[in-house]
Structure 1
Amino acid sequence: MNEKTEKIGQQLYTDKYFEHGHWLLKIEQTLVALIGWVCVVVPIIITARSYIGLQTGRIKPWWSYSEGFFEIKFIGILLLFCFAMVLVYSVFMTIIQNRKRDRLVEQWPTFDPIGQHEREDEVSDFFDQQFGSPEFCHSVRFYEVKPEQNLDTHEIKDLFKEQHSNEIN
């Protein structure tokens, strides 16, 4: 990377909170984050303590509204249903993917990387014979293809058939 790119990259990912100085900003953002977490954790503790206290009778609940407990049970059932649906979906998708993978593994010899390189070399040699070397093609400004140089419809495919039949013999 050159210096210009590095400077732009640094400018895109700067945050004053992590730079030296900016103490008021750090204090303010830390307090906002802590207040936010308190606003999340305290209602959960109050709700859990009240629900457990009413269910077991061991802890004095902070509130005992029947509508609140009905909502907690409703949300619990809703979350349980969502969990069951996600579980069923995940299990079925796993089964489907495993079956697809097994079918693919059974058909695995469909791609041969070593043979691919050999075929690329074969096609490259064929085009060199048909149209000239790559250096020649890049050095000329205009090139007119002679009628006998045109390729037949299945000429490349036939070239691989010949190669495959030579490998078998």
Structure 2
Amino acid sequence: MKKDETDASQSYTDAYFEKGHIWLKIRQTLAAILGWVGVIVPILVTVISAVGYYQPHVLGFWHTHVGIDELQFFGLLILFAFVMSAIFTISMAIIQNRKRARVVEQWPTFDPIMQKQRKNELNDFMDERFGDAKFRQSVRNYDVQPEKNLDTDEFKRLFRHEKVGDQDD
């Protein structure tokens, strides 16, 4: 396969995985390693210090109760955030399931065949009332005669025969 054909079939390419680009690979790899060090080191310091506070034989980075109090405070804060997120998520799931159940009971709410028929009837109505579509789209100014103005419920009356037929079923 040619390079142009490969590029056309892929929606995303990354120069990191292509041949060459050695400085890009080195720079991005170092950035990734530094990022992971920035995540892992604080976690290790916190865990080792917390264990060292309760286990005297483990050498921790800090030995005061202030660090443990902060750790417990952040633990409670994270627990509170988790509980609130869980309540929100579960309640939204229940609401969505109830809405979905109501929609499924009313299924089908969209009938593509009926929609196509309505579109055709509407196009015929507009052609009869205001001229064919090509004329309507090409004219710059069009004066509508008073007798050709649409009533407020014109389209409702146009499709009324469908509702009568649906009630008979």
The alignment's TM-score, normalised by the length of structure 2, stands at 0.69
CA deviation profile, 1:46-81 (whole Å, cap 9, x unmatched): 3212323443x3961324222111111111111111
Q: Aligned partners of 1:81 and 1:92: how far apart in 2? A: 17
Q: Aligned partners of 1:106 and 1:147: how far apart in 2? A: 44
What displacement does 1:34 show? 3.1
What's the C-alpha RMSD, in Å, of the aligned pairs?
3.5
* Same amino acid, percent of matched pairs: 45
Task: Read off the aligned partner of 2:58 and give its amino acid letter.
Answer: K
1:5-154 aligned within 5 A: 20=20, 23=23, 27=26, 30-31=29-30, 33-55=32-54, 57=55, 60-63=58-61, 64-138=63-137, 143-154=142-153
Taking structure 1 as reference, are residues 140 and 44 closer, same or farther at Cα in structure 2, changes over 3 Å only?
closer
Task: Read off the aligned partner of 1:133 and give its amino acid letter.
Answer: D
Task: Read off the aligned partner of 1:102 and give its amino acid letter.
Answer: A
Question: SS in structure 1 opposite 2:159?
Answer: helix
Q: Aligned partners of 2:147 and 2:117: how far apart in 1? A: 26
2:4 — aligned with what? none
Unaligned 5+ residue runs, structure 1?
A: 1-12
Unaligned 5+ residue runs, structure 2?
A: 1-12
Q: Which protein is richer in helix relative to its size?
A: 1
CA deviation profile, 1:133-162 (whole Å, cap 9, x unmatched): 223434556544344333333222111113
- C-alpha contact 2:52 2:58 (8 A) present in aligned 1: yes
The alignment's TM-score, normalised by the length of structure 1, stands at 0.69
Q: Aligned partners of 2:108 and 2:91: how far apart in 1? A: 28
- C-alpha contact 2:48 2:59 (8 A) present in aligned 1: yes
Q: Aligned partners of 2:131 and 2:106: how far apart in 1? A: 38
Greater Cα offset, 39-48 or 67-76: 39-48
- C-alpha contact 2:15 2:21 (8 A) present in aligned 1: no
